[in-house]
Amino acid sequence: MNIGQASAASGVSAKMLRYYESIGLIPRAGRTEAGYRVYKDRDVNTLRFIRRARDLGLPIERIRLLVGLWRDRERSSADVKRIAEEHVAELEAKILELTAMRDTLQELADACRGDHRPECPILRDLEGGGGRGPGRRQVDPHQCASSPAA
């Protein structure tokens, strides 16, 4: 099949397919006399594998390892599990970081009255750099109230 057909069958864009070829994640496709790439069913299966791994957020180097293990019928499933567990640990850390960022931003939004006054703890925090990274901050809910309500 040609690149468009392989792309449609695998769910991987033609651009990404060419990229995966260029970095050696999939073997270089054969060529017709006219120079068009020709892909086999095995290539499409590999592309589907890669697509699913990318959908799970795995980085290219881990996908490269997994493709190698997938092709190796003598592999140990422990090797595959180790790669998956490393990625799960990284996802858990990212979830904690995103949760802390969300909580901080929500606290800042809750502390802002959102009225006609120019004072805003959100902008003040951004201006000051926060000083604590993405983690939670204690926000004074009265920070916005620099002047009495009109």
CATH architecture group of domain 1-75: Orthogonal Bundle (1.10)
CB contact at 8 A, 43 and 27: yes
For 9, residues 6+ apart whose C-beta sits below 8 A from its C-beta are 1, 44, 47
Cβ atoms 59, 23 nearer than 8 A: no
Whole-model pTM: value is 0.76
* pLDDT for 128: 87
Beta bridge partner(s), residue 31: 37
**Residue ranges per structural domain of the chain:** 1-75, 90-150
Residue with tokens 């939004």: 109
Residue length, the chain? Answer: 150
| More confident position, 1 or 141 | 1
Q: What is the pLDDT of residues 100-123, one digit of tens each?
A: 999 999 999 999 988 998 889 999
Residue 105 burial class via C-beta count within 10 angstroms: exposed 0-12, middle 13-18, buried 19 and up: middle
